[in-house]
């Protein structure tokens, strides 16, 4: 009996003893509303749908509109877009144009989801051919001007700096003339040209002695007369956006140690 009373007294004393206050911790979390998520619903076996892509070229806005107006069902068009992708204008204006042309809303949703990423830049390959046994170019700089909306993008090549390189793979022999074999030095440069606007663009390729040109208007009348201008249509989306610029130089008839700028060729391809 005495043992039971002592045990009860000890238990009562322990229950009434003050507890040490837990230290307050400043947590880096807001004290407002709380949202709870059930992570059991995160089933890793629920993989996203796999689309079987076709080897056909992507559809375009014009082709999609033509198929829709020809009576193809929306489900058929959605299936085609899933298989072939769409090099379409998926911007707000582009979707509005397709809607006004009668394209179904489910097809518009497929265009928005499966459309190719919009082009942000041109991949460009520059080829410079120097024909003849010379050492330097008469015009030391080659310029490549591209209009891009309200700005002009300027790219330049310092030819003396390029020609200082001595790479054996850059030299070849032109035997197109059976009587005279000509040495050709071919230098190739690959890079990217950022463009922010789509549609028609103008290009000017010019040789100049000035190293500080920032606009075609700064070319001399003689340099402008020898320059070439080109136009190309820059699509909003495509699988490939490759342009090739080739510039030719030939040994001067009088000053044999110099090359003259003879002209250029510019072409682009999309698919």
**Domain shared by 240 and 171, yes or no:** yes
Q: What is the pLDDT of residue 270?
A: 85
171-174 vs 182-194, strand pairing mode = antiparallel
Q: What is the pLDDT of residue 13?
A: 45
Please list the pLDDT of the chain residue by residue as tens digits (271 residues).
444 444 444 444 444 545 555 556 667 777 778 888 777 777 767 666 777 888 888 999 999 999 999 999 999 999 999 999 999 999 999 999 999 999 999 999 999 999 899 999 989 999 999 988 878 888 999 999 999 989 999 999 999 988 887 776 676 666 666 666 677 888 899 999 899 999 999 999 999 999 999 999 999 999 999 999 999 999 999 888 899 999 999 888 788 888 889 999 999 988 7
Domain hosting 81: range is 61-114
DSSP H or E run through 241:
strand 241-251
The answer to whether residues 227 and 128 belong to one domain is yes
Residues 6+ apart with CB under 8 A from 160: 136, 137, 140
Residues 211 and 80 in one domain: no
Residue 35 lies in a domain: no
128 and 260 inside one domain: yes
Q: Are residues 82 and 215 in the same domain?
A: no
Q: What is the pLDDT of residue 112?
A: 92
Q: Considering the domain boundaries, does residue 44 fall inside one?
A: no
Rounded distance between C-alpha atoms, residue 148 and residue 197, angstroms: 6
Look at residue 176 in the predicted model and tell me its pLDDT.
63
Residue 136 falls within a domain, yes or no? yes
Based on the fold, state whether residues 82 and 145 are members of the same structural domain.
no
Domain count, the chain: 2
- Write down the pLDDT at residue 14: 44
What does the alpha-carbon distance between residue 129 and residue 174 come to, in Å, rounded to a whole number? 11
One domain for residues 85 and 167: no
pLDDT, position 28: 75
Asked whether residue 180 is assigned to any structural domain, the reply reads: yes
Give me the pLDDT at residue 15, please: 46
Per the domain annotation, does 51 fall within a domain? no
DSSP string, 62-124: HHHHHHHHTT--HHHHHHHHHHH-B----SHHHHHHHHHTT--HHHHHHHHHHBPPBP-EEEE
Residue 85 in any domain: the answer is yes
The alpha carbons of the chain give a radius of gyration, in whole angstroms, of 35
Residue reference for tokens 């877009």: 81
Taking each helix axis from N to C end, the angle separating 74-84 and 61-69, rounded to the nearest 10 degrees, works out to 150
Give residue 133's pLDDT.
80
Instruction: State how far the Cα of 158 lies from the Cα of 180, in Å rounded to an integer.
Output: 30
């Amino acid at each position: 009996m005495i043992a039971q009373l002592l045990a009860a007294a000890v238990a009562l004393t322990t229950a009434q003893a003050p507890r040490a206050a837990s230290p307050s911790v400043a947590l880096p979390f807001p004290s407002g509303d709380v949202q709870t998520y059930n992570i059991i619903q995160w089933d890793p076996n629920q993989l996203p749908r796999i689309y079987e892509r076709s080897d056909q070229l992507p559809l375009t806005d014009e082709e999609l509109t033509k198929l829709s107006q020809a009576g193809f069902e929306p489900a058929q068009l959605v299936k085609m877009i899933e298989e072939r992708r769409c090099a379409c204008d998926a911007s707000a204006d582009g979707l509005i144009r397709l809607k006004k042309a009668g394209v179904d809303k489910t097809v518009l949703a497929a265009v928005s989801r499966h459309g190719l990423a919009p082009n942000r830049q041109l991949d460009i390959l520059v080829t410079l051919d120097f024909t003849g046994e010379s050492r330097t170019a008469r015009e030391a700089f080659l310029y490549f001007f591209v209009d891009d909306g309200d700005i002009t993008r300027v790219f330049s090549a310092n030819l003396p700096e390029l020609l200082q390189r001595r790479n054996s793979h850059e030299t070849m022999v032109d035997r197109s003339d059976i009587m005279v074999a000509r040495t050709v030095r071919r230098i190739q440069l690959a890079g990217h040209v950022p463009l922010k606007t789509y549609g028609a663009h103008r290009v000017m390729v010019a040789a100049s002695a000035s190293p500080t040109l920032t606009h075609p208007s700064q070319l001399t009348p003689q340099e402008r007369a020898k320059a070439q201008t080109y136009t190309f249509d820059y699509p909003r989306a495509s699988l490939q956006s490759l342009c090739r610029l080739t510039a030719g130089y030939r040994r001067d008839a009088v000053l044999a140690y110099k090359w003259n700028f003879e002209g250029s060729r510019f072409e682009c391809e999309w698919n």
